[in-house]
Amino acid sequence: MEKVRFKSVSTLDILFFLALLLNVFNHLLFEKTIVPVYIIGLLYVCGLLFYFAIKRKEFFSRINVFERLLYTMVIFGSMLSFCFLTLNYIFSKKETHFTTCKVKCHSKRLWTVVKKVKEPSVVYAELPEGLNKRIPVSKEERMGLHHIDSLEVQLSPGAFGFSIIRRIIPRNENT
């Protein structure tokens, strides 16, 4: 019987896996923050700049240039965006204000635990800043959501000037 050998896992592979897990938290923070997608993209591009700082290190000696670029973009881009979103959220101001957002369409989540839910769990709303935002709606907030025309969104200013969504109140303008 032949003995099975496992390939050793490098530190770079562990960092890459941790960066992918960090992106789950980035997604959750992104849903709660009104920030344009291009800002997050710029942070990932800034993560590429770390490539030039560490390209001569022995750490990257066994992989080719394309893989080095991919690793640095994902690892450092995830870290930069996590720091940006977390600091914006944690150090946001306590005062809040309400704004009305027009609902463009209703949708169901792609991955749901309970498939029998009839109410939509995601709305696409047009925000006053000119952004279209995918806003997840909690179970309590989505009762009767099929007839919602707008959302009353409670916002608080974030540390970097990007608003944080505190609460969502569905509104029907026809009634």
The pLDDT of residue 150 is 79
| pLDDT surpassing 80 at residue 37 | yes
The pLDDT of residue 92 is 93
| Axis crossing angle, helix 65-90 with helix 37-54, rounded to the nearest 10 | 130
Closest by CA position to 160, among listed 79, 85, 96: 85
Entry pTM: 0.79
| pLDDT surpassing 70 at residue 140 | no
Distance CA 42, CA 44 (A): 5
Total Cβ atoms within 10 A of residue 97: 11
Percent of the chain past pLDDT 70, that is, above it, reads: 74
Residue 108 vs residue 32, higher pLDDT = 32
151 phi-psi bin (left φ>0, alpha ψ -120 to 50, beta other) = beta
Confidence of residue 143 (pLDDT cuts 50, 70, 90): low
| pLDDT surpassing 80 at residue 62 | no
Percent of the chain past pLDDT 90, that is, above it, reads: 31
Total Cβ atoms within 10 A of residue 172: 11
Residues in Cβ contact with 28 at an 8 Å cutoff, skipping those fewer than 6 apart = none
Whether the CB-CB separation of 48 and 120 falls below 8 Å is answered with no
Average pLDDT on 21-31 reads: 93
Whether the CB-CB separation of 133 and 34 falls below 8 Å is answered with yes
pLDDT tens by residue, 76-97: 999 999 999 999 999 999 999 9
| pLDDT surpassing 90 at residue 13 | no
pLDDT tens by residue, 150-173: 788 889 999 999 999 988 877 665
Closest by CA position to 160, among listed 53, 24, 43: 43
Distance CA 167, CA 140 (A): 11
Residues in Cβ contact with 72 at an 8 Å cutoff, skipping those fewer than 6 apart = 47, 48, 50, 51, 54
Confidence of residue 146 (pLDDT cuts 50, 70, 90): low
